Structure 1
Amino acid sequence: MEVAGLVLGALPLAIKALNSYRSILSSLKNVKRDLDFLVRDLETEHQILQNTCETLLKGIVPDSRLDEMIENPFGADWRGFDDQIRLRLWRSHSAFQQRLTEMHGATKELQQMLAIQEDRKTKLTDARSILNEIKHRTGFTLKKKDYTSTLTRIKEGNSVLLKLTQQNNELEPSRRSRSQAKVARLIRQLSRSIFNALRGAMTCSCAKIHNIGLELRRRAVGWASAFSTNFKPGKDATSSTTQTLLQAAATSILPATTTFVLPTVTDLCQLVRAGKSTAADCYGLVTDVEHKFELYPQPNQTEARSFVTLRQVLKESEKGNLSPPFGYPEQLKLALALSTSVLHLYNTPWLARIVTLDDVVFLRETSLNYHSPYQPFVTKDFPPQPNSQPQQMHPLLPGRLRPMDLTVLSLGTLLIQIITGRRIADLDLDLGGSGSGSGSGSGTNLNSVLSKKEAASQLAGPVLQCGGMNYESAVQWCLGSILGVAGLEDDHFCQNFYEGVVARLEADSRIQQR
């Protein structure tokens, strides 16, 4: 965007120079008339380009900085935001840049023709010097016809930039929506790979009593994930429970700039127990069949953390014992993180088929104080051997001829309890005593599911009162989608889930952050 700033800044310099020459040569009517036309045309093109830049940057640049950028086109802020602009322009980015480069060349010609110096000032300040410059034919000119070609390039380029910006801004919401299924597939694949890589590095004899937690948050392709690994001491351990936060990031696919080779982690349990001196030190690599991940200790980690479930948080919230309070901002943030994670982690080792109040956990440092207030995790045990077949996430219930989406139903019931800030026994899904959310359970039959759906629907009023229209609509979408044939394994359903649930919560979250 730096080139756009240079073009945007060059036009007012040309207008200022023309106004100066017009004032000095006001007695020459033919010259004044030509300069009037040039000033009018350049002012119009400047306004169009200002509006184009503002439209293009809206939603990318913070509102508090946008006006300042437009008014200060030569400022340092114009050197940023290239990645976001490239994403917004999509396939049009190359054409946009080409037109912008052509306009930049035209404005440089304009500055030369108007004798504007490197310091952005005109060297001609009186009638005699202006007329002498014209007489010696140095390239300086004030005839309108001499500017026709340059102005045409500016006008045509400006028109193309405006059209491309308007079209891409209109298409961006649709593109984001259409891309959700692709993003979800990529993140699911990567999250499975991370789980398998960490499981492969857990070779200790006490692996069965270890579990690993994944932070629930909105993720993008190329994301880095924060993991919480909870190590319970084995029989031969001499120390107390060690709880360490690890950060796993996918290694870059670009060629390495150094010859340093990271070691492969073969015993994660022993490595974490030994610890590292600083958070900048890398433990080494954990690997899956297709990916390698660098493993780091979490910055500013503290010991003596414990996990508490969402059920426990709601219980304490009902009593008014939480610090900080579990209020609307925290509830909305949790609801968005959970909904996005259901989309991104579906049919992976991280997410149960039925998500319950006991599956979502938080890190707590003291009796009632929470680390990164109410940042949610899901925790999983390490299975002894990889499953040969992926878990059936959308099974048939007894006596049914088609599947029922219990994942979306369980999300809807959780969203209700989160926003109302209380546990609701009628919304607990009966898992037939499995307690893991992974089995169909004898109690999870059609009548039971419809009963839960009816109980949840009757809470529309409290949900609307506590969460607002978008939140209530997201809940109703979940409740209304459980009887469809398709589920979150279907791309079209994923897109609809994003629009019906995630996008609505994102809209409220953006308002909350203003």
Structure 2
Amino acid sequence: MSGFEVAGVVLGSIPLLISALEHYSNGVSTIKSMKKYEPVFEYIHATFVTNLTIYRNSLEELLSPLALSDLHLYRLLEEKDEAAWEEPDLVSCLKQRLEHSYLPFKSSLKQLNKKVILFGRKLQLDEGFRPPWVSPDGSIDTKQRENFFKNPINRIRGGFNSEKYQQALASVEADINRISKLTSTTIALEPIRLHRKRNTETQYWATFQEYVERLYQSFFARWSTQCSCGCLHEANLRLELRDRKTEQAITFKFLFSLESNTNTPRQPWIWRTVEIEPSGDLAPSQASKTKSIPRVVIQAPSEVQSAWKPCVSTAPAIRDLCKALESSQPQASCIGMLHEVAFKHHIHSLKSPHPQVRNLNRTTLQDILDANAGRGFDIKEKHVPPTRHHPLTLASAVLQLHDTPWLRESWTMQDVFFLNHDQIPLLCNQPYVSKSFTPLADPLPPSPHPNKSKQSIIIKSPIIFALGVALLQLSHAKPINAFATPDDLDAQGNRTFWTDYMIADRLADGLLVRELPNFANATRRCIHCNFEGTVYSLNDEGFRERFYQGVVVPLQQDYDYAQAPLGPE
């Protein structure tokens, strides 16, 4: 019997025990020789009533924030329904809420259950906690009751065991007080724990931004300022779903490609798929923004993880990245280590068949959108691959890549694409973003945005607004321009800096009838940048937390729903 099954048993047993004590008090009062023990039973009865109230209040306080239906809560607290306490979702929620107090709470419940049952045995109650003179229908056999208390053995037990009853009562009372203190302490600490948990999560996501920024600078230093091969280098970063709860380490997967031109004597390699483990100290500026960020230990996936550990200390230093990629094998192996100041990147090749295939097909999300021609992506349907993960993937990309060269502030569906080839199924259905590195190029300057000052009046965060637009387009399978009306344009029928916002605002209002509430509400928050604050930058820890809770978490819940096994028909 689990701890929470016991909760239902105890909650049902104590009222029955209280009822039995009432019968004992009434019975004792009818026998002159037993009347002196009447106050003892009245005291025990009153104490049990008080303890039941404390115990019930503790359970109600524990259950109330779990968003249970009124019917479910009634079954748990009023009907004493043991089955109601066994539901897996409820047990999981209680484990999550109690955290470290779960096992002590469970143990205290079991001890309390044993003591209540033992108390009933001392009073010679049956399994239904009824005295011998009370029938299952509640009727009382007064003659049997009189004979029970006139029995010399029972009179002796009732007299000499009164102190033992009070000792047993004190033990029950101690268990209930311990349960009450465990729940009240846990509830008092809950806001602090929640803030600490969310703070850790947002700090965890902040490391991604620093890592991908470092990776870009490392590639730029080698391919745009130092590399002598004269080719155009392209780094395609795979967008992946990250799960902080798994405690798994992080890697970044890239597909590197190389394009020669007429002035290039030879092309050292064509393309390589690699996995990179970044590690090292965060930059002082980033560390100050995110307070104390724990170092993220990065691991490769299970198929190559065993190869990563022994080669970390022996990985060769990479001086020329192009030569290192040229000499790498088309299988899982260590390529080497890129060293920076207080930072390093451990690079492994991924197993990739047919590395000499030259032409990889590139399909953008916009291409997929156009191909669907308004048929919709069935986002709210279960088990509809591969589009069910696109909303969450895009939201995660914004969280990880904001304010870095990998994702423009006003990005579009053209910036996210898929690489595939008939002979390389490994690449199918894996979204990427890309950066090109031209030999002897200057660092990419920030591109000026027309009417940015005017747009900032209504669009507080362009990168989050772009996410909201992308979610709308995934839902409708059409570009938002297709929904433009004359009211969205100026007098000459031209677009203005208000046009996209006006269309998006109108479409977002109608999402609740098209999509699941989580998706619809997350999209509306992105369009209106409604995150209950006055700061609208993902570099701000508080805003990043609110974006994570208001957009990423709801989309994750929808994704989990879509992934859950279908029930029996």
Task: Provide the TM-score with structure 1 as the length reference.
Answer: 0.60
User: Match for 2:497 among 427, 443, 449?
Assistant: 449
User: Is 1:328 matched up with 2:379?
Assistant: yes
How big is each residue's C-alpha offset from its partner over 1:462-482, in whole Å with a ceiling of 9 and x where there is no partner? 645533555444444434349
Aligned-pair distance for 1:292? 4.4
Aligned-pair distance for 1:309? 0.9
User: Is 1:307 matched up with 2:353?
Assistant: no
> Does the 8 A contact of 2:522 with 2:555 survive in 1?
yes
- 1:356 match: 412
User: Match for 2:397 among 307, 323, 341?
Assistant: 341
Letter in 1 for 2:515: G
- Superposition map of 1:153-164 within 5 A: 153-164=174-185
Distance 1:147 1:424, change over 3 A: same
Aligned-pair distance for 1:342? 1.3
Distance 1:49 1:7, change over 3 A: farther
**Stretch deviating more after TM superposition (143-152 or 295-304):** 295-304
Q: Distance in 1 between matches of 2:350 and 2:163?
A: 65
Letter in 2 for 1:344: Q
Letter in 2 for 1:380: K
- 1:437 match: none
- Superposition map of 1:210-229 within 5 A: 210-218=234-242, 220=244, 224-225=249-250, 227-229=252-254
User: Match for 1:251 among 292, 297, 301?
Assistant: 297
- How many residues align? The count is 447
Q: Unmatched 5+ residue regions in structure 1?
A: 23-27, 60-66, 115-130, 135-139, 429-445
Q: Unmatched 5+ residue regions in structure 2?
A: 22-26, 29-37, 69-80, 120-153, 261-265, 279-295, 300-307, 381-385, 485-493, 565-569
Aligned-pair distance for 1:244? 2.1
Q: Distance in 2 between matches of 1:509 and 1:158?
A: 37
Distance 1:509 1:252, change over 3 A: closer
User: Match for 1:275 among 320, 331, 345?
Assistant: 331
Q: Distance in 1 between matches of 2:249 and 2:419?
A: 19
> Does the 8 A contact of 2:480 with 2:500 survive in 1?
no
Letter in 2 for 1:456: A
> Does the 8 A contact of 2:234 with 2:436 survive in 1?
yes
Aligned-pair distance for 1:354? 1.7
Q: Distance in 1 between matches of 2:8 and 2:114?
A: 14
- Superposition map of 1:154-233 within 5 A: 154-166=175-187, 182-196=203-217, 205-206=228-229, 208-218=232-242, 220=244, 224-225=249-250, 227-233=252-258
Q: Distance in 1 between matches of 2:7 and 2:521?
A: 43
Equivalent position SS for 1:209:
strand
> Does the 8 A contact of 1:38 with 1:144 survive in 2?
no
Distance 1:452 1:343, change over 3 A: same
Distance 1:447 1:297, change over 3 A: same
Equivalent position SS for 1:351:
coil
Q: Distance in 2 between matches of 1:227 and 1:302?
A: 22
> Does the 8 A contact of 2:480 with 2:503 survive in 1?
no
Instruction: Provide the aligned C-alpha RMSD in A.
Output: 6.3
Letter in 1 for 2:501: K
**Stretch deviating more after TM superposition (102-111 or 193-202):** 102-111
Letter in 1 for 2:414: D
How big is each residue's C-alpha offset from its partner over 1:106-159, in whole Å with a ceiling of 9 and x where there is no partner? 779969x99xxxxxxxxxxxxxxxx9xx9xxxxx99922233453333112211
User: Match for 2:173 among 145, 152, 173?
Assistant: 152
Distance 1:194 1:70, change over 3 A: farther
Structure having the higher Rg: 2
> Does the 8 A contact of 2:239 with 2:397 survive in 1?
no
Q: Distance in 1 between matches of 2:445 and 2:239?
A: 22
Equivalent position SS for 1:449:
coil
> Does the 8 A contact of 1:409 with 1:478 survive in 2?
yes
- 2:544 match: 494
Equivalent position SS for 1:328:
coil
Distance 1:326 1:400, change over 3 A: closer
Letter in 1 for 2:254: T
Q: Distance in 2 between matches of 1:101 and 1:468?
A: 36
- 2:526 match: 478
- 2:431 match: 376
Q: Distance in 2 between matches of 1:163 and 1:174?
A: 18
Equivalent position SS for 1:414:
helix
Equivalent position SS for 2:414:
coil
Q: Distance in 2 between matches of 1:7 and 1:167?
A: 24
Q: Distance in 1 between matches of 2:84 and 2:441?
A: 56
Distance 1:318 1:46, change over 3 A: same
**Stretch deviating more after TM superposition (328-337 or 463-472):** 463-472
Q: Distance in 1 between matches of 2:353 and 2:54?
A: 55
User: Is 1:416 matched up with 2:472?
Assistant: yes
Aligned-pair distance for 1:316? 2.2
**Stretch deviating more after TM superposition (293-302 or 183-192):** 293-302
User: Match for 2:373 among 315, 318, 328?
Assistant: 318
Q: Distance in 2 between matches of 1:461 and 1:208?
A: 45
Q: Distance in 1 between matches of 2:63 and 2:336?
A: 45
